[in-house]
């Protein structure tokens, strides 16, 4: 990843970290070159949906899917990108719902990509 990010400092991904010596008000992480671009995470988990967002759950202790992927979201934000809602398939090994997941994915794409780009 360091090689990709370092190569992208030429303006492809970002113009440095956004700060300058001449303007102390510019914040770290504001140098992204991909402003106006959006991204979407599409994820699969063996964990059931109930395992997320519930403080009583043993492993995740109330954390959401996006909490777990916070570092990835920050990478994209560093480049100036805006997130679309994350799409998730849950319980894919022990209780797969493939047809339902595919239908939900199509609806997700329609809502977040196809309608907004028309």
Per residue in 33-65, pLDDT tens?
A: 999 999 999 999 999 999 999 999 999 999 999
77 within domain boundaries: yes
Whether the Cβ atoms of residue 70 and residue 49 lie closer than 8 Å to each other? no
Domain span holding position 47: 34-117
81 within domain boundaries: yes
23 within domain boundaries: no
User: Rounded to two decimals, what is the model's pTM?
Assistant: 0.85
19 within domain boundaries: no
45 within domain boundaries: yes
| 11-41 pLDDT tens trace | 889 888 899 899 889 999 899 999 999 999 9
39 within domain boundaries: yes
**CATH classification at residue 89:** 3.40.50.360
How many independent structural domains does the chain possess?
1
Q: What span, in angstroms and rounded, lies between the C-alpha atoms of 48 and 43?
A: 13
| 88-112 pLDDT tens trace | 999 999 999 999 999 999 999 999 9
106 within domain boundaries: yes
3-state SS class at 41: coil
Q: What span, in angstroms and rounded, lies between the C-alpha atoms of 114 and 118?
A: 6
14 within domain boundaries: no
- Residue 11 burial (CB count, 10 A): 10
């Amino acid at each position: 990843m360091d090689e990709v990010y370092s190569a992208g400092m030429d303006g492809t991904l970002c113009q440095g970290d956004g700060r300058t010596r001449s303007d102390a008000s510019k914040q770290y992480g504001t140098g992204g070159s991909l402003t106006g671009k959006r991204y979407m995470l599409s994820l699969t988990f063996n964990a059931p949906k109930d395992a997320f967002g519930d403080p009583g759950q043993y492993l995740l202790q109330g954390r959401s899917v996006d909490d777990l992927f916070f570092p990835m979201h920050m990478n994209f934000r560093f480049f100036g990108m805006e997130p679309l809602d994350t799409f998730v398939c849950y319980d894919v090994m022990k209780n797969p719902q493939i047809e339902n997941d595919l239908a939900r994915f199509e609806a997700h794409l329609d809502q977040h990509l196809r309608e907004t780009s028309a």
